[in-house]
Amino acid sequence: MRILITGGAGFLGSHLCQRLIGMGHEVVCVDNLMTGSMDNVAHLLGHARFAFVKYNVCDYLHVAGPLDAVMHFASPASPQDYLEMPIATLKVGALGTHKALGLAKAKTARFLLASTSEVYGDPLVSPQKEDYWGNVNPISPRGVYDEAKRFAEAMTMAYHRYHGVDTRIVRIFNTYGPSMRPHDGRVVSNFIVQALAGTPLTVYGNGSQTRSFCYVDDLVEGITRLLFVASDRTLEQRTDRQSFLSRTETSQSETVHDPINIGNPHELTVLEIAQKVQALVGTGAPLEFKPLPVDDPKVRRPDITRARKFLDWEPKVNLEDGLTRTIEYFRKRCI
């Protein structure tokens, strides 16, 4: 297959480029390098089945020749980035998604949208299932990312229903691993870089808020399975009695076109993660507590029932192994 990946020089995009090249596919990587880096794809340059195009996907998007799939991963993705670039974040979620979908439609290509657990906002239920509509403050500083992705999902489903585009939506939960930027403001990279430097590890609030971290190799495995799963696959789910009494249907059909959570359901507090990093790095650096950012989610844990049933997927790498690999990456990069 010939596959285009927007944001292909970013953290997740570059891992996808590597995985798909390794599977024998041809990859066209498109990135404006706003948050991506050529370092992430340097080892692929010159490969016969890899091409890099520096381009802003919010502009008219055209690629010569056939395409079998378009994977839209372009977007600032860390709180630090989308708080510094709010307009660009909204534009790539709206205009960028529109352009990428238009390209998929023109090429009769499958389309996969990288969405996020942030569509659930500061959730009032845990774990979060895909049919939960979320608790989002649309006008908060964090809302630019949440609403950009929620709009992107709506646009993707509209193209599927109205134009018949074969679409997929993956809701990505917190991910970590090699190729993260050292100072991107995410929890794991922050803790590791600070621990390696011997500076205090910054914990926001009292550290009781929870996160569920998935190692990048597991995430990429889930995403590639979602990309290639048959488009006519459905799940028939019986409703509970309450739903049965209030609806005329006795079952509802979920399809592969509906959003699917990909993440690790193993939930830890931020404080526990900081302490694990301290122990694995072997640092005596203390913890430093700072005020919790506005609308920072108190809980974050995916329900991966759909991923298990549709994709026969669940994460394999435990947190300690994943953190050890990530620490070694940063140790080589930062010291």
Active site amino acids: 145
Per-residue burial over 52-90, b = 16 or more CB atoms within 10 Å of its CB, e = otherwise: beebbbbeebebeeebbbbbbbbbbbbbbbbbebbebbb
Contacts of 166 (CB under 8 A, 6+ apart): 109, 110, 111, 160, 231, 257
Cα–Cα distance measured from residue 153 to residue 169, given in angstroms and rounded to the nearest whole number:
7
- CA gap 198, 109 in Å, rounded: 49
- Phi/psi at 36 (nearest 5 deg)? -80, 175
Dist. CA 315–CA 324, nearest whole Å: 16
Q: How far is CA 74 from each of CA 19, 211, 296, rounded to the nearest angstrom?
A: 18, 23, 23
